[in-house]
């Protein structure tokens, strides 16, 4: 892939080819419990757009452009009402759909996007309407809500100072991590990796890991930014230079000293962990210790020795193909229109 193609894949702003592709998917923008009565407005940076996520007095949630169209005041300092978010300068009021209820002149509407709460996160869709279904798997689905033995755990990593495609390349390049790949670090002494292969799958790319003891493990990349490698890893493009990483998994309730689970029909709120630094002690996730977002890089053997990157080549081909599909007005891979779709397989 030449530098011109790399530049196309890095740029995620409105009107760019990759930006238009990524806008066909849902992206996590905030932990749901962080948007409350005490902190009802948050600044969000997603796909090179500066936005504000807000909760009105009736519990409605909206996502709109940061600047008020009147005089450019930041809506981060706006105040919620029962009908929406009011500008702090002159009180122009915007409901969750972006329509201005307080303008004294002509019809005014700002950029506003669809927001949905799922799995303890707020998700945003910035693409053309109608919005597709949010693809649910065994981690994001609601099956865990009625369980009394486990609860979700959301881990929010510090933003990475690199673009989303560079992180994806690193994650799919097994050779880069060879110097860090030791079974003891991954909590599995004596179980080395013999071979790693990549193949196209229904929702993206499947990685197959064959160990020296004969066991096989599969880890799917759900195109374009979800990876199931132990936890579900969510890679969110902030802009051309920043990437946000969040993981979701489940943990036993009893391990946290909770003697009884939730009542039937309810659910334990997710445990939320904010990691402040990559330099941590023994509790630091071993996958992340190898590389900040590179569980797919855990590979040794012939592929690594030959410096081959079959996963990266497969991802690049997939991206270019899906860019063409979007340019033709078609839905790219992984976009689901059926809200009652079966759970997306991740194992």
Q: Which of 193-202, 247-256, 305-314 has the lowest mean pLDDT?
A: 305-314
Q: At residue 42, does pLDDT exceed 80?
A: yes
**Does residue 180 surpass a pLDDT of 70?**
no
Residue 46 exposure: Cα atoms within 13 Å on the Cβ side: 31
Q: Does the pLDDT at position 222 exceed 80?
A: yes
CATH 2.102.10.10 placement within the chain = 22-125
pLDDT of residue 211: 81
CA angle 246, 135, 151 (to 5 degrees): 50
Encode pLDDT of 242-275 as tens digits.
999 999 998 887 654 433 433 333 467 889 999 8
Q: Give the C-alpha separation, 207 to 186, whole Å.
A: 18
Q: Could you read off the pLDDT of 287-309 as tens digits, one per residue?
A: 443 343 344 443 322 333 334 47
Fold of 22-125: Rieske Iron-sulfur Protein (2.102.10)
Q: Quick one: residue 129, left, alpha or beta (phi over 0 = left, psi -120 to 50 = alpha)?
A: beta
Higher model confidence: residue 26 or residue 284?
26
Question: 10 Å Cβ neighbour count for 180?
Answer: 15
pLDDT (tens digit per residue) in 129-154: 999 999 998 889 877 665 667 888 99
* Angle 148-288-45 from CA coordinates, rounded to 5°: 85
Phi/psi of residue 311, each to 5°?
-65, -40
Residue given tokens 């002509």 in the structure block: 106
Residue 181 tokens read as 């790949």
Confidence band for 313, pLDDT divided at 50, 70 and 90 = confident
Q: Does residue 69 contact residue 44 with C-beta atoms inside 8 Å?
A: no
Asked whether the predicted pLDDT for residue 198 surpasses 70, the reply is yes
What are the CA-CA distances from residue 185 to residues 66, 190, 278, 290 (Å)?
43, 11, 15, 9
Query: How much is the average pLDDT of 71-77?
Result: 94
- Answer whether residue 322 shows pLDDT above 60: yes
The predicted structure's pLDDT at residue 154: 96
Q: Mean pLDDT check: name the lowest of 37-51, 56-70, 251-265.
A: 251-265
Cβ atoms within 10 Å of 15's Cβ, excluding its own? 8
Q: DSSP character for 36?
A: S
């Amino acid at each position: 892939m030449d530098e011109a193609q790399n530049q196309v894949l890095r740029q995620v702003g409105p009107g760019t080819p990759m930006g238009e592709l990524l806008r066909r998917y849902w992206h996590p923008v905030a932990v749901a419990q962080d948007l409350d009565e005490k902190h009802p407005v948050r600044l969000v940076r997603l796909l090179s757009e500066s936005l504000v996520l807000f909760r009105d007095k009736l519990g409605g949630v909206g996502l709109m452009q940061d600047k008020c169209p009147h005089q450019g005041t930041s809506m981060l300092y706006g105040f919620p009402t029962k009908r929406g978010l009011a500008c702090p300068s002159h009180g122009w009021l915007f409901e969750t759909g972006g329509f201005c209820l307080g303008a004294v002149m002509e019809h005014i509407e700002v950029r506003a996007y669809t927001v949905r709460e799922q799995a303890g996160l707020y998700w945003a869709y910035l693409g053309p309407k109608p919005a597709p279904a949010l693809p649910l798997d065994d981690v994001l689905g609601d099956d865990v809500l009625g369980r009394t033995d486990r609860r979700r755990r959301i881990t929010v990593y510090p933003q990475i100072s690199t673009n989303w495609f560079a992180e994806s390349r690193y994650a799919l390049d097994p050779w880069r991590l060879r110097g860090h790949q030791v079974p003891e670090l991954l909590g599995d002494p004596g179980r080395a990796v013999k071979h790693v292969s990549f193949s196209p799958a229904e929702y993206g790319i499947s990685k197959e890991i064959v160990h020296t003891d004969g066991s096989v493990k599969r880890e799917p990349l759900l195109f374009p930014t979800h990876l199931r490698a132990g936890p579900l890893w969510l890679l969110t493009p902030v802009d051309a230079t920043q990437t946000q990483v969040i993981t979701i998994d489940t943990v036993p309730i009893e391990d946290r000293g909770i003697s009884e689970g939730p009542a039937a029909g309810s659910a334990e709120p997710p445990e939320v962990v904010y990691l402040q630094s990559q330099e941590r002690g023994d509790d630091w996730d071993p996958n992340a210790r190898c590389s900040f977002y590179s569980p797919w890089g855990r590979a040794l053997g012939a592929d690594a020795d030959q410096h081959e990157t079959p996963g990266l080549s497969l991802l690049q081909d997939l991206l270019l193909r899906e860019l063409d599909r979007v340019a033709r007005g078609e839905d790219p891979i992984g976009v689901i229109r059926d809200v009652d779709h079966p759970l997306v397989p991740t194992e």
